Amino acid sequence: MGTLLKYLFYIFLIVVIYLLGVGFYEGTFNSDSTVGDVASDVTESTKNTVKDGYQATKDAIEDGIDAIK
């Protein structure tokens, strides 16, 4: 169980680092951004990423079930 939690933490950390990098690259974050701005943007982006991943997985499973029929 500890290994699973460790890997979930690493995945979460990689997603947060990725979203921070995207924010800096796109110019969303700059020297005038506050910690609250960055945190709220990362939180919203994380929610959207998880939601998109869930939807893509759900669609893939439904397509697989349809292909079997």
Q: What local confidence, expressed as pLDDT, does residue 1 receive?
A: 64
pLDDT score recorded for residue 34: 82
Q: Is-contact 29 23, C-beta < 8 A?
A: yes
Q: What is the pLDDT of residue 45?
A: 82
Per-domain residue ranges of the chain: 2-68
Dihedral of the alpha carbons of 42, 46, 47, 51, in degrees to the nearest 10: 150
pTM: 0.57
Both tokens assigned to 10: 């690493």
Q: Other C-beta atoms within 10 Å of 18: how many? A: 14
* pLDDT mean by block of 10 residues, the chain; 69 residues: 84 85 76 79 84 89 85
Q: Quick one: pLDDT at residue 68? A: 83
